[in-house]
Amino acid sequence: MTIPDSKLAGRTAIVTGGGSGIGRAIAALFAKQGARVAILDLAGDDAAREITSAGGSALAITCDVTKQSDVEQAFARVAREYGALDVLVNSAGVAAVGTVEATTEQDLDRVYAVNVKGVYNSLRSGVAAMKRRGGSIINIASVASSVGIPDRFAYSMSKGAVLTMTLSVAADYVGAGIRCNAISPARVHTPFVDGYLASHYPGREKEMFDTLSRTQPIGRMGEPWEVAEVALFLASDAAAFITGSNFAVDGGFVSLKV
C-alpha cells in the first residue's frame, strides 16, 4: 500500500495560542504544508503576517479562550472565511509556579480558566464543527500530566485535565471520525522560558538555563519546531490509525532514569 502524503494541502486548521512559542511553530509549519491556518490568540497578528509574507494562508483572530462566546464566534468566522474545519490544535496555555500552599486562589483560577476551561471551550466548538466529517484534534499537554514536578501544583493540575479530556473526547467521538491525541512536551525553549529566567534569576539566566536543560536526559531543552513536527504527523493522514494517544516529546524526561 501507499503511505498517504503527510502534507495538509487544502485543509483548514485552528491553532489556539498560535501567536507565540509552540503554537506559533505549529501554525507556521501547518501553513508551510498547505493548510489554511486560523490563529486564535490575544496577540496573533505578527505570527499571521509572518506566514502570509512567506506565501502561506493565515488569519489572526483576537480571541480569549476563557470566554465561550469568543471561541464560538471565532470558530464561526473560520467557517465563513476558510470553510469546514479539519484540524484543531489547543496550544493556548499559561503557567504558575508554586506548591499547593504557595498557590493562591487567584493563581489557580487563572490557570484553570485558560488551561482547562479554555481547552474545553475549544473542544466543544471543534467537535461540533467536525462531527459530520471527522477531523484531528491535538491537545498540548505536558510531562506534568503524568509525573510529579516540584513547585507546579496548579500547572500540573491543569495539564492532567488536558490529558484526560483528550482521552474522553477520543472515546466519545471515535465513531464520528474524530481523532483526538495529546502531545506532552518537557521543557521547550520558548519566550516564556526566557521571561521566567529573567524574572526569577536576574543575572543568572545562562546558569539556570543550563541547569534546566540538564533536567532532560538528552541534555537540552526541546525546540518549538520539534513539537510542531509531531503535531503535523498527528494532523495528517499518516496518523489515521491513531487516537486517544499521548506523545511524549521530552528528551527522555518521563521514561529514562539516568
Told to judge if 155 belongs to the known catalytic residues of this protein, a careful annotator would answer yes
One-letter amino acid at 213 equals S
Helix (H) or strand (E) segment spanning residue 183: strand 178-185
* Burial class of residue 101, CB neighbours in 10 A (0-12, 13-18, 19+): exposed
User: Which strands form 57-62's sheet, in the order they lie side by side?
Assistant: 57-62, 36-41, 12-16, 87-90, 135-140, 178-185, 246-249
Nearest in space to 59 (alpha carbons), one of 76, 68, 47, 73: 47
C-alpha cell at 22: 509552540
d(CA 147, CA 209): 21
Q: What share of the chain is helix, strand, coil (3-state, %, to 5)?
A: 50, 15, 35
Contacts 24+ apart (CB under 8 A), 65-69: 65/16, 65/17, 65/40, 65/92, 65/114, 65/117, 65/118, 65/119, 65/121, 65/122, 66/113, 66/114, 66/117, 66/118, 66/121, 67/121, 68/121, 68/124
d(CA 121, CA 67): 8
DSSP sequence for 26-41: HHHHHHHTT-EEEEEE
Of 155, 173, 196, 201, catalytic: 155
| Residues involved in catalysis | 155
